[in-house]
Amino acid sequence: IRAGMKEEFLHFIWKYGLYDRDKLLDNEGNQITVLHPGEYNRDSGPDFFNARIISGGTIWAGNIEIHTMSSHFDIHGHQHDPMFDNIILHVVAKNDRKIFNSRGEEILTTELCFEEAIYDKYLSLVNNPFAIACHEELAAYSPVLLRNWIDALIIERLEAKSGHIESLLVKTGNDWEETFYNVLARYFGFRVNTGPFEMLARALPVKIIRRHSDNRFQVEALLYGTAGMLSEGLFRDAINDTYYRDLIREYKILSSKYSLQPLHGWIWKFARLRPANFPTIRISQLAGMLSGPEGLFSKIIEIRDIDSLRTLFGVKASSYWDDHYTFGTARNGKTKKTGEKSADIIIINAVVPVLYVYGKQRAQAEYSERAVSLLEQTEYEDNSVIRDWCETGISIVTALESQALLQLRDCYCRKRRCLDCRVGFSLLSSGKKFKEQDELILEP
């Protein structure tokens, strides 16, 4: 047994049968034949359920437990736990002690024998200093297999985002307009102001905005006022600004009517942002999206192509902002419209996940399929993570690919879950010549 070996590596070897089957022997030296390794269990209890093996001429069905050393069975207290009484085989790297279940019956134990090169390769991946451990080998990886992995990863990413959306849906009483508004607001902050925009959506329900959606000025008053941007002293140069004073006057009436409590205006961040991304501009653009006779999500579920969606989110800030970036300070400027890249960010992060969940909740697969199709119609994001993937030689064209690779980086590469990655599995089981042991950084 190698120092620092982890059980998860032995799980991998057992699950995919990467051991020497001729050396899989029982306590008396008889050959063990594995008919089925069992179903992998990541929760409490045995590591594999419902396995089937042949030992001593008898077919056994039950569970498999795996440890680096057989004595760990007792160290973990399994000898007192009836949950482990149905163990038909204890699989270990080193059999250093006989073990017994809670009924006092000895448990069949076998040592796994496998090529040292597989473990060496595993160590070279998990100890690699680069963010993408297999970056040097990805270019040679099968494009077909990579595409299959990407298709699986995009569904995994959408499913991961579904939990948050489903939780919002419960909180809003299954109101899809309110749910989408909350998700939209989160991504309208474009990272820097994500928190404040989320707080604004919670403080000002969209059902209140909908009552005034035919009057954009009132929608802006509701948003700016509840955002705390109309608080005295926040924009000192705006004291004589007619538009600003009109917003204050309108918000006093509306906030009294709906018992609204404004946020603290100082939570909004302007530093290190391009003026076109100032929250003052973004709130006016959001007001434009939320104005009109029909709810925003009602429009979205009817749209089938990416260009129409971009048009929906390509909204101009009100004319006041043509020569302003903050209240009260006039500057030479231009029309402030949500650009195509900003619209794509909203589509990728708000429209697609909510539409995907909408299809699941209503058992109408066409909406979930449309969500995936929208990713295929959208250009990939340009950020440092995606640039890292491009440097490996992977061809990235659409947001479907970039979102899948973000999932791979966040949930596999960063956590060094190479054993759960299809690329990692291929590298570990390929039979290639691996690095020499003295070139590796061993795990502590």
State pTM to two decimals.
0.87
What confidence score (pLDDT) does residue 439 get?
A: 36
User: How much is the average pLDDT of 390-409?
Assistant: 95
Which residues, in sequence order, are CB contacts of 282 under 8 Å at separation 6+? 188, 189, 190, 193, 197
- With pLDDT > 70 as the criterion, what percentage of the chain qualifies? 97
pLDDT category, 140, cuts 50, 70, 90? confident
d(CA 170, CA 172): 5
Question: Largest Cα–Cα distance of the chain, in whole Å?
Answer: 94
Backbone phi and psi for residue 102, each to the nearest 5 degrees, phi listed first: -70, -15
What confidence score (pLDDT) does residue 126 get?
A: 93
The answer to whether the CB of 84 falls within 8 A of the CB of 104 is no
What confidence score (pLDDT) does residue 333 get?
A: 77
Alpha-carbon 383 to chain mean position: 16
pLDDT category, 437, cuts 50, 70, 90? very low
Q: How many CB atoms lie within 10 A of CB 111?
A: 16
User: How much is the average pLDDT of 166-185?
Assistant: 97
d(CA 205, CA 210): 9
Lowest mean pLDDT across 26-30, 298-302, 418-422: 26-30
pLDDT category, 226, cuts 50, 70, 90? very high
**pLDDT tens across 335-355, in order?**
899 989 999 999 999 999 999
Query: In 314-364, where does DSSP find H-type helix?
Result: 340-346, 352-361
Q: Is the pLDDT of residue 443 over 70?
A: no
What confidence score (pLDDT) does residue 3 get?
A: 73
Q: Burial, 57: exposed, middle or buried (Cβ in 10 Å; 0-12, 13-18, 19+)?
A: exposed
- DSSP per-residue letters across 411-443: IIITTT-GGGSHHHHHHHSS------GGGS---
Query: Mean pLDDT of all residues in the chain?
Result: 92
SS (H, E, C) 57-107: CEEEEEEEEEEEECCHHHHCCHHHCHHHCCEEEEEEEECCCCCECCCCCEC
Q: Strand, coil or helix: what is 45?
A: coil
pLDDT category, 433, cuts 50, 70, 90? very low
The answer to whether the CB of 407 falls within 8 A of the CB of 415 is no
The answer to whether the CB of 369 falls within 8 A of the CB of 154 is no
User: How much is the average pLDDT of 183-196?
Assistant: 92
Lowest mean pLDDT across 161-165, 279-283, 339-343: 339-343
**pLDDT tens across 87-133, in order?**
999 999 999 999 999 999 999 999 999 999 999 999 999 999 999 99
* Closest to 295 (Cα-Cα) out of 162, 161, 172, 163: 172
What confidence score (pLDDT) does residue 444 get?
A: 29
Lowest mean pLDDT across 15-19, 26-30, 148-152, 255-259: 26-30
The answer to whether the CB of 100 falls within 8 A of the CB of 79 is yes
Task: Give the type of residue at 280.
Answer: T
Which residues, in sequence order, are CB contacts of 214 under 8 Å at separation 6+? 291, 292, 293
What confidence score (pLDDT) does residue 35 get?
A: 96
What confidence score (pLDDT) does residue 251 get?
A: 98
Q: Is the pLDDT of residue 432 over 60?
A: no
pLDDT category, 383, cuts 50, 70, 90? very high
Which helix H or strand E contains 325, and what residues bound it?
A: strand 324-326
What confidence score (pLDDT) does residue 442 get?
A: 31
